[in-house]
Amino acid sequence: MLRFALIGAGRIGKMHANHIASNDKCVLEVVYDLNTKASKEIANKHNCNIAKSAKEAILNKNIDVVYITSATSTHIEYILLAAKSGKSIFCEKPIDLDILKVDKCRKELKKYNVPIHIGFNRRFDLSHKSAKEAKDSGEIGNLEMIIITSRDPRPSTLSYHKYSGGIFKDMTIHDFDLACFILGNDPIIEISVYGGNLFSSTIKKINDLDTAMIIMKSKSGVLCHINNSRHAAYGYDQRLEIFGSKGMVISNNKSSSSLKKYNKNFTNANYPFYDFFIERYEQAYKDQLENFAQCLINHKPTSVNFEDGRNALIIANAAYKALSLNKSIKIKYN
Amino acid sequence: MLRFALIGAGRIGKMHANHIASNDKCVLEVVYDLNTKASKEIANKHNCNIAKSAKEAILNKNIDVVYITSATSTHIEYILLAAKSGKSIFCEKPIDLDILKVDKCRKELKKYNVPIHIGFNRRFDLSHKSAKEAKDSGEIGNLEMIIITSRDPRPSTLSYHKYSGGIFKDMTIHDFDLACFILGNDPIIEISVYGGNLFSSTIKKINDLDTAMIIMKSKSGVLCHINNSRHAAYGYDQRLEIFGSKGMVISNNKSSSSLKKYNKNFTNANYPFYDFFIERYEQAYKDQLENFAQCLINHKPTSVNFEDGRNALIIANAAYKALSLNKSIKIKYN
Amino acid sequence: MLRFALIGAGRIGKMHANHIASNDKCVLEVVYDLNTKASKEIANKHNCNIAKSAKEAILNKNIDVVYITSATSTHIEYILLAAKSGKSIFCEKPIDLDILKVDKCRKELKKYNVPIHIGFNRRFDLSHKSAKEAKDSGEIGNLEMIIITSRDPRPSTLSYHKYSGGIFKDMTIHDFDLACFILGNDPIIEISVYGGNLFSSTIKKINDLDTAMIIMKSKSGVLCHINNSRHAAYGYDQRLEIFGSKGMVISNNKSSSSLKKYNKNFTNANYPFYDFFIERYEQAYKDQLENFAQCLINHKPTSVNFEDGRNALIIANAAYKALSLNKSIKIKYN
Amino acid sequence: MLRFALIGAGRIGKMHANHIASNDKCVLEVVYDLNTKASKEIANKHNCNIAKSAKEAILNKNIDVVYITSATSTHIEYILLAAKSGKSIFCEKPIDLDILKVDKCRKELKKYNVPIHIGFNRRFDLSHKSAKEAKDSGEIGNLEMIIITSRDPRPSTLSYHKYSGGIFKDMTIHDFDLACFILGNDPIIEISVYGGNLFSSTIKKINDLDTAMIIMKSKSGVLCHINNSRHAAYGYDQRLEIFGSKGMVISNNKSSSSLKKYNKNFTNANYPFYDFFIERYEQAYKDQLENFAQCLINHKPTSVNFEDGRNALIIANAAYKALSLNKSIKIKYN
């Protein structure tokens, strides 16, 4: 059994706590959050301890794993604390919004040989994962194009958007990682971007975009397109299309019901898609935890590592540069 | 080139005239209809002659084929006239509503060795046909079940229903033939029926049904289900499902547009299906004519023959018997 | 919190134990199974007590609910024991295979005013349930036809089939109940049946069917069709179509992945459906428990009661009679 | 009746001749082609005259319309000849590969007040057209994104590619026009491009691309993506997605058969899509002719005019510039 310290008891923290509780390889030992009420709630439900500080939770001798779901700005501090005390680490994305801090952390981390997993959960979605398998097995021949459609159902709160790092670091970063996941050893080396403020004056005021279109090129020449919107009337839109010399696979949207309606106005109408990521990626979150636990137990490298988290951030930075210079930007990773 | 006499210039006759004109193996030589205006219209459009009587058209020495699309009650007379004069025959379904007349015609026809094709056009629908091919190729293993959904968009006129022979001889007869087509050499030997008057008081008044459900069994044990309705709010509903030991194929509905709509109420919504048989089975009508022409030119037996037309009528008669006796009825074909 | 005694720790018992554990209104207090190893496993995982007998578990003063998932032949005994001790009851379907025993139990039960829920879980499937809602809301107009396709992926073990009560009491009983659920206050009053032994010599030897087709009529005239097979190469096939004067809804199949494949042979190809009922109806099982718990807590009648269980058995008996007499059978419920 | 001179009797010319023949507002009067055999074939089939030169055909006093389907390099000469003699003009796309020639022709044309239609047939595809209608009716709210997927089933001959003007002037030009069609009065003002030579060494040798990805921005800020490939294993891939504040519509692919297959490997598998444009856009070609004829008869402006043809070419030129400079290019139309 792996024993977990959960740092962060917000909405996402609660979700992770439930997934830990229902996984037969994991036990929640201790929880910490600045918000005492939130940590108490989790402690009561899952019968675990409450730490008085993040440090206390992380240094707890009974735990094997530090599960970091606190505010982004605290990630690096907790990662390093956990690493120094020899704990395995699960950290929600992004590592940090500042590549300089990430690079410093990266250098530091090399001193400690601890497993670290960055929470790019979409890699574990059964449909996206089988798309990757179709590519790796040769089923679609040589990969030639990747098209990612990724639209939130609606904007979040203003305070969220103010500190999220902007659309590319907060939202598109998942799509950058998904593209990297499909590409495998073939890095993205070039990016062009168009952005838009098409519907949200709130997002415009804080100098962020509500809509974006991106094209990218990999080292081997694969072309990638990503389109993002901060709203979608019909629910959370998450599609991945990969096209190759022998065929194509599309990881399509999902909804809770398989009902189809037929009347004088339309036929085959399905229900709106899952509302948002917690429902849409529930299976992915669970399987990510299971995969992480298996890697630890079997002493195998984690499936999504620090480099993956850093690479996605580097691409996000290049996206901002491409946007401001209005031209194609080359991407370097060292 | 095959030269055609068209007997019947109503709505279906006009459609056939257009298909003859656009087929490169066929020419329309002469047309006849009681309604002089209707035959003139066709003659003008397709630059063909007008006969003063059906007999004159059928005996015309320039023609190879008599194409019978006149009222059902005239079919047998014209079939025999054409047969006696050595012409090839295409006759719309049904041959006649009365099995005794059909049997008499059958006996008579044996004296003349002329090709005859009965117009069960659905056998030539590309989707239904590929269902049949999937069965014949062994792709679905041993055939075990057939499920046919067949619903008209709306009832026809009262005068139509009065003389149509009732739902089983007019509408379900297509479905009986489709089941026979899929089954091939394995005849339907038993039938049970439930009928309903669920929405049309007009149809009820003339002692016909507006809704029906049927189960049938073939000699080898294949089970078949047919459901019929005289209305469907979402358009003409024509589905064929065949299920076997290795899999299933479904010949699904079709619509003119491939547009899909997504909004806050639904996703993936398609347009209503084709309104009715002329649009839905346009390709089938054209391919039926092409197939008939090819059989004549290559001196091969017609694909849908007099026996097929008679068998479907025998099953329709059994359906009425099963309905009135409220029990399972054995079917015999001799 | 509702405290549960679980009677039966087999495969289905384990599944129910997990669902009880993850429901925030329920606690598993005690478990009993003839097989001591099985009950120990559940007790260890969920930290509950083990009873030495079913009686001990049922009479346990700490419990509110008896959850019966033991062998069918024991259901009535445990139902009555629980009723006498004033416990609420959840009993897996069927109540019993013998209508005489069920009727005796029914009479007895009337003495005790305890809530009882019969486990027809499919009523709680989100898609089937929204089909029912579409009917109740008037969205499809007057209900005219119900078509249920229900095919297992493969036969079970011989020993299972020997004691299951046969296809109508074991498998079709779910479909009978689903039809009753959709029909609401409009009882099924007539049934015709064709059966087949199309692929399994094992099932034939024990005088059971591997394939069946049924048509039924409700009091108001709604026509229903059910088709069953004990195998389906492409996975567990569970479809419900309801057709009315204003439209149609179809509760369609589900699979774990939304991947679609395109190559030179085919397009839009999805993954096989969920393998079987535990995966396919996981959400339904969970929501059934939640609904049951809510009814108890709010002192509302259970959603699926003893009468529902009895009605489905009466229809199954009529199906056997229709099969053996090869005619339409009237159904009475008193 | 409109009387047509057809200039060009190649594969596309033959197709147009058939569509003219089956349209009840049109008659084919005369045909001309350098290849005498080709024009004879059409003349025989459709019973029309053969001209000895394009000039003779165009100046023919019996004709109303000059239908230009000859080699691209001859388009402008025939357009001007037809304009001078006061004939209405239908010209296949592109007008010419050279914008200077097009501008000269444009200036010249202004002297003659003749109707001219440029053959961007996709605007008349029922599905694409209903996407446009969904946008114009406000059904999807404010337009925010357009995504066009356009992939040929396979490259054409080397000689075709050598003189086609390259991927942007030959293939993408249809997609540029489709984007303009959806956008209406909102011109595309900026473009970025990535190209690839991912599979065809033949195409690479002649300095053309086999794969391309494009992002564009309209004056109002709408973002557009186009992806192109010169091959697609699963058939001709033609999709149009438009996304707005209230929803989305997708004009999806089409195939000749609606058959769906289910087996142990997959479910819902459809047939490959229509092989190529002649089958896929048959309805669009017919409706384009009908629309053109109606505009002439009712003295209304043509639906796709010279400016539309010129605009698409200007965007194609900008695409080449964006590719060579590897940056975002502003587009001007005067």
Q: pLDDT tens for residues A138-154?
A: 999 999 999 999 999 99
Element counts in chain C: helices (H) and strands (E): 13, 14
pLDDT tens for D165-215 read 999 999 999 999 999 999 999 999 999 999 999 999 999 999 999 999 999
Cβ-count burial B89-114 (b if 16+ within 10 Å, e if not): bbbbbbbbbbeeebeebbeebeebeb
Distance from CA of C237 to the nearest CA of A (A): 13
Shared-domain flag, residues A69 and A130: no
Predicted local distance difference test score (pLDDT) of residue B18: 86
Same domain, D155 and D268: yes
Residue of D nearest to A212 (CA): D223
- Whether chain B has a CB inside 8 Å of the CB on C227: the answer is yes
pLDDT at A3: 95
Helix (H, G, I), strand (E, B) or coil at D261: strand
Interface contact A267-B233, CB threshold 8 A: no
In this predicted structure, what is the pLDDT of residue A93?
93
Whether the per-residue pLDDT at B334 is higher than 90: the answer is no
| Residues above pLDDT 70, as percent of chain A | 100
Residue A60 in this model has a pLDDT that exceeds 80: yes
Tell me how far apart the alpha carbons of residues B61 and B1 are, in angstroms, rounded to a whole number: 14
Give the closest-approach CA distance of C144 to chain B in angstroms.
Answer: 7
**Which band of pLDDT confidence, cut at 50, 70 and 90, is reported for residue C47?**
confident
Residue D329 pLDDT: 97
pLDDT > 70 fraction of chain D, expressed in percent and rounded: 100
pLDDT band at C86 (very low <50, low <70, confident <90, very high): very high
**Which of B149, B192, B260, B268 to mutate: most C Cβ within 10 Å?**
B192
Note the pLDDT of residue D105: 98
D256 touches chain B (CB under 8 A): yes
Q: Alpha helix locations (H) across D153-210? A: 158-163, 167-170, 172-183, 201-205
Residue C298 has pLDDT above 80, yes or no: yes
Is residue C50 classed exposed, middle or buried when 0-12, 13-18 and 19+ CB atoms within 10 A define those classes?
A: middle
* Beta-carbon separation of D257 and B127 below 8 A: yes
Asked whether the beta carbons of residue B263 and residue A235 sit closer than 8 angstroms, the reply is no
Whether residue D59 is predicted with pLDDT greater than 90 in this model: the reply is: yes
The beta-carbon neighbor of C270 closest among D255, D267, D271 is D267
D251 at the B interface (CB within 8 A)?
yes
pLDDT of residue B191: 98
Task: For residue B287, tell me if it sits in a domain.
Answer: yes
- Residue D271: per-residue pLDDT: 87
Neighboring chain B residues of A265 at a CB cutoff of 8 Å: 272
Residues 264-303, chain C: which have Cβ within 8 Å of D?
A: 264-273
CA angle, residues B209, B214, B215, in degrees to nearest 5 = 170
- pTM of the predicted structure, to 2 decimals: 0.95
Q: Write out A192-220 in H/E/C secondary structure.
A: EEEEECCCCHHHHHCCCCCEEEEEEEECC
pLDDT of residue D15: 92
Q: Do D234 and C273 touch (CB under 8 A)?
A: no
Written as six digits, the tokens of D40 are: 């004879």
Neighbour subunits, B (≥3 Cβ pairs < 8 A)? A, C, D
Distance CA C152, CA C148 (A): 13
Q: What is the mean pLDDT of chain B?
A: 96
| Per-residue pLDDT at B47 | 78
CB contact under 8 A, B261 and D251: no
- In contact, B166 and B209? CB cutoff 8 Å: yes
* Contacts within 8 Å (CB) and 24+ apart, A125-129: A125/A251, A125/A281, A125/A283, A125/A284, A126/A283, A126/A284, A126/A287, A126/C256, A126/C257, A127/A240, A127/A251, A127/A252, A127/A254, A127/C257, A127/C258, A127/C259, A128/A178, A128/A181, A128/A240, A128/A251, A128/A284
Q: Whole-angstrom Cα distance, residue D31 to residue D48?
A: 7
Q: Is the pLDDT of residue C261 over 90?
A: yes
pLDDT above 80 for A183: yes
pLDDT for residue A148: 98
The reported pLDDT for the residue numbered B45 is: 75
pLDDT bucket at C60, cuts 50 / 70 / 90: very high
Kindly report the number of other CB atoms within 10 A of residue A133's CB atom. 12
What is the pLDDT of chain D when averaged over all its residues? 96
The residue of chain D nearest to residue C236, with distances taken between CA atoms, is D264
Residue B295 has pLDDT above 90, yes or no: yes
Q: Model confidence at A1, in pLDDT bands (50, 70, 90)?
A: confident
pLDDT in tens, D80-130: 999 999 999 999 999 999 999 999 999 999 999 999 999 999 999 999 999
Strands D188-196 and D211-218: antiparallel
Residues in chain B closer than 8 A to D263 (CB atoms): 139-140, 246-248
In Å, how far from its chain's centre is CA D308? Answer: 11
- Residue B58: pLDDT band with limits 50, 70, 90: very high
Asked whether the predicted pLDDT for residue D263 surpasses 90, the reply is yes
pLDDT at C284: 96
Residue C319: give its domain's CATH number: 3.30.360.10
What's the confidence (pLDDT) of residue C45? 76
Cβ–Cβ contact D184 with A under 8 A: no
Say yes or no: A257 contacts chain B, CB-CB below 8 A.
Answer: no
Kindly state whether residue D291 falls inside one of the protein's structural domains.
Answer: yes
A264 and A139 in a common domain: yes
- Does any domain span residue B197? yes
C133/C223 same-domain check: yes
B72-89, pLDDT tens digit by residue?
A: 999 999 999 999 999 999
User: Rounded distance, CA C322 to CA C328, Å?
Assistant: 6
- Which residue from A minimizes the CA distance to B264? A234
Q: Which of D265, D267, D270 sits opposite C267 (nearest CB)?
A: D270
Residue A255: list chain B partners with CB under 8 A. Answer: 267
Residue A76 lies in domain: 2-92
- Taking a C-beta distance cutoff of 8 angstroms, is the pair A244, D199 a contact? no
CB contact under 8 A, B267 and A255: yes
Please list, in sequence order, all residues whose beta carbon lies within 8 angstroms of the beta carbon of residue C216, skipping any fewer than 6 positions away. B194, C179, C188, C190, C191, C192, C223, C224, C225, C226, C315
Whether residue C232 and residue B248 make contact (CB cut-off 8 A), yes or no, is: yes
Contact B268 A268 (CB under 8 A): yes
Boundary-marking domain end, from B73, B92, B111: B92
Measured in angstroms, the CA of A237 and the nearest CA of chain D are apart by 11
Q: What is the DSSP string of C69-95?
A: -S-GGGHHHHHHHHHHTT-EEEEPSPS
pLDDT at D138 over 80: yes
Neighbours of D133 (CB within 10 A): 12
| pLDDT reported for residue A44 | 83
Nearest by Cα to B69 from B10, B8, B4:
B8
Which domain-ending residue is among D92, D107, D134? D92
The angle formed by the CA atoms of residues D172, A143 and A213, to the nearest 5 degrees, is 50
Alpha-carbon gap, residue C132 to C126, rounded angstroms:
10
Inform me whether the pLDDT recorded for A66 exceeds 90. Answer: yes
Mean pLDDT for the stretch of residues B282-311: 97
Which of C130, C257, C261 lies at the smallest CB-CB distance from A257? Answer: C130
Chain D hits for C234, CB-CB cut-off 8 Å, are 262-264, 266-267
Q: What does the pLDDT read at residue C271?
A: 86
Residue D115 lies in a domain: no
- B259: three-class secondary structure by DSSP: strand
ipTM: 0.95
Distances (CA, A) of C193 to B222, C324, C326: 14, 9, 7
* Interchain CB distance below 8 Å, A221 and D196: yes
Percent of chain C surpassing pLDDT 70: 100
Polymer length in residues for chain C: 334
**Residues facing residue B261 across a β-bridge:** B269, D249
Tell me if chain B has a CB within 8 Å of the CB of C327. yes
Instruction: Give a yes or no: residue A46 inside a domain.
Output: yes
Mean model confidence pLDDT for chain C:
96
Q: Are residues C235 and C131 in the same domain?
A: yes
Closest chain A C-alpha to C226 CA, distance in angstroms: 19
C56 phi and psi angles, rounded to 5 deg: -60, -45
| Range in A83-92, B4-13, B33-42, D19-28 the model is least confident about | D19-28
On whether both C144 and C92 belong to a single domain, the answer is no
Residue C162, token pair as written in the block: 């020997």
Q: What is the pLDDT of residue B24?
A: 81
pLDDT of residue B271: 86
Q: How far is the C-alpha of D112 from the C-alpha of B306, rounded, in Å?
A: 64
The C-alpha of B150 sits at a distance from chain C's nearest C-alpha, in angstroms, of 12
Answer yes or no: do D33 and D172 share one domain. Answer: no
Phi, psi of D303 (to 5 degrees): -80, -30
Q: Which amino acid is at C63?
A: I
Q: How far off is chain C from D255, nearest CA to CA, in Å?
A: 9
Over residues B237-265, the mean pLDDT reads 96
Give the Cβ contact number of residue B29 at 10 Å.
22
- Kindly state the average pLDDT of the residues A91-104: 96
Task: Quote the tokens at residue C284.
Answer: 């339904």
d(CA A155, CA C298): 37
Query: What is the predicted pLDDT for the residue at D8?
Result: 96
Q: Is the pLDDT of residue C285 over 80?
A: yes
Residues B169 and B316 in one domain: yes
Instruction: Please check whether residue D33 lies inside any domain of the structure.
Output: yes
B45 shares a domain with B147: no
User: Residues with Cβ < 8 Å from B273, sequence gap 6 or more?
Assistant: A267, B234, B235, B236, B237, B238, B253, B254, B255, B280
Query: Tens digits of per-residue pLDDT, B224-243?
Result: 999 999 999 999 999 999 99
Does B266 contact A273 at a Cβ distance shorter than 8 Å?
Answer: no
Which of C87, C114, C141 finishes a domain?
Answer: C114
**What residues in B contact D26, CB-CB < 8 Å?**
none
Q: Are B313 and B169 in contact (CB under 8 A)?
A: yes
Predicted pLDDT at A309: 97
CATH number at residue C93: 3.40.50.720
* CB half-sphere exposure, B330, CA atoms < 13 A: 4
CB distance C266 to D265 below 8 Å: no
**Residues A254-278: what's their mean pLDDT?**
94
Distance between CA C161 and CA C154 in Å, rounded?
A: 12
Instruction: Say if residues C172 and C228 touch (Cβ distance below 8 Å).
Output: yes
Query: In whole angstroms, what is the distance from residue C126 CA to residue A272 CA?
Result: 13
Cβ atoms of B272 and A264 closer than 8 Å: yes
B20-24 — which CB contacts under 8 Å span 24+ positions? B20/B46, B20/B67, B20/B289, B21/B46, B22/B286, B22/D22, B23/B286, B23/B289, B23/B290, B23/B293
Question: How many CB atoms within 10 Å of residue A282?
Answer: 16
The encoded tokens of residue A12 equal 């996402």
Considering the domain architecture, whether residues B164 and B76 belong to the same structural domain is answered as no
User: How many Cα atoms occupy the beta-carbon half-sphere of A310 within 13 Å?
Assistant: 18
Would you say the C-alpha torsion C138, C144, C148, C149 has a positive or negative sign? Answer: negative
The answer to the question of residue D117 being in a domain is no
Q: How many domains does chain D have?
A: 2
Residues C209 and C303 occupy one common structural domain: yes
Report the pLDDT value the prediction gives residue C272, as an integer from 0 to 100: 86
User: Distance of CA C8 to CAs B265, C11, C67, D291, Å?
Assistant: 43, 9, 8, 72
Query: How large is the average pLDDT for residues B151-171?
Result: 94
Asked if residue A183 is part of any domain, the answer here is yes
Is C204 found in the same domain as C321? yes
Average pLDDT over residues C124-135: 97
pLDDT at position C301 is 97
